[in-house]
Amino acid sequence: MVKASAPGKLMLFGDHAVVYGHPCVVTAVSKRIEVSVAEYERNEVCIDTPGVNDHSFIHAVLSRVSSLWCLPRSIRITVRSSFSGAYGFGSSSAVTVALIKALATYTSRAISDRELFLFALDVVLSVQKVGSGFDVAAASFGRTLLYKNKGEIIEPLPWKDIRLIVGYTGVKASTVEIVREVAEKRDHHPEQIDLLFNRMENIVWQAKQAMKENNMPWLGELMDEHHSLLQTLGVSSEKLDSLVLAAKRAGAFGAKLSGAGRGDCMIALVSKEREEDISTAIRLAGGEVVFVAFDEEGARLEV
């Protein structure tokens, strides 16, 4: 039996702009998807995924791998997740990456992180049609990355003393729908939307510098500015805004929505001293505080 796992992710900066070739910053989180591949007694592929209803990514991996790697017919694939798909932590890319890694090892193939990323990106885009692939990069390489243009830049960034609180809105957002909506907006108002994206790109470059300097007040200001740009883009929501405001009022350095918007999660950058108060403020505003660690390891084999 072979077991592999891959982490979920959170977008820190560059949400939406990254779809149009701008850079973003993403961090891998401690919630992971674990996939095991084992011999099966019947002459068929058995997929055992308690709690995962959407098998489209698994089928897409299998159809590619069977034609390329001559996969045995009698295998059992089991998927275990340490997170709910609801949070928007990127379970589809994590399951894709972990399954490819497990199948490569099962068929005795060496696969580099770069090959894993490119293979998984191809699979994810074949199913989803839209997306930047930042989530696939986080699942494959892990850590905190500056990511651009389907892997043209994948650069690890330093993660020192950054404390984030993640607040879940309780609302499941459809990334694909929101990305399509933004594309339509951009078709109608290309100059205005590209102006927003250029400003987000500028924030990403500054955030890279702020992270290198370990400058939390600066990083917080950049998060606030980024959140306003996402509001202008029309992808925030009342709930996201109220959690962001609650975190700010309770003393966060900065706060913003993370990812496509409308629902899923927001993040707040906090000091150790204010952490408890800010968590309470997010809860009182109706958010669920989700405990995760950041800057986690990428895809790996498990024993």
| Annotated catalytic residue, options 135, 161, 187, 277 | 135
What's the CA gap between 133 and 291, in Å, rounded? 24
Closer of 148 and 274 to ligand PMV (Cβ): 148
The verdict on 88 binding ligand PMV (CB under 6 A) reads yes
Distances from the Cα of 131 to the Cα of 47, 116, 245, angstroms: 26, 17, 28
- Is 135 known to be catalytic? yes
Kindly give the interhelix angle for 134-141 and 113-128, rounded to the nearest 10 degrees.
Answer: 150
Strands 75-81 and 45-48: parallel
Residues 116-135 that bind ligand PMV (CB under 6 A): 131-132, 134-135
Distance (Å, rounded) from C-alpha 4 to C-alpha 186?
A: 39
Does the footprint of ligand PMV cover residue 15 (CB under 6 A)? yes
The count of residues interacting with ligand PMV (CB under 6 A) is 16
Q: Does 12 bind ligand PMV (CB under 6 A)?
A: no
State the nearest-atom distance from the C-beta of 259 to ligand PMV, in Å: 2
Closer of 10 and 62 to ligand PMV (Cβ): 10
Q: Whose CA is closest to 298, among 24, 49, 112, 150?
A: 112
CB 210 within 8 A of CB 219: yes
Nearer to ligand PMV, 14 or 77 (CB): 14
Q: Which position among 85, 259, 287, 298 is part of the footprint of ligand PMV (CB under 6 A)?
A: 259
Cα separation of 38 and 96, whole Å?
A: 17
Sole window of 12-20, 117-125, 148-156, 194-202 interacting with ligand PMV (rule: CB under 6 A): 12-20
Residue 94 binds to ligand PMV (criterion: CB under 6 A): no
Cβ-based nearer residue to ligand PMV, 83 or 134: 134
First and final CA of the chain: distance in angstroms? 9
Q: Which is nearer to ligand PMV, 18 or 28 (CB)?
A: 18
**Placement of tokens 């894709």 in the chain:** 96
- Comparing CA positions, the residue from 110, 159, 167, 114 lying closest to residue 286 is 167
Which stretches of the chain bind ligand PMV, using CB under 6 A?
A: 11, 15-16, 18-19, 88, 90, 131-132, 134-135, 175, 179, 259-260, 264
Active site residues: 135
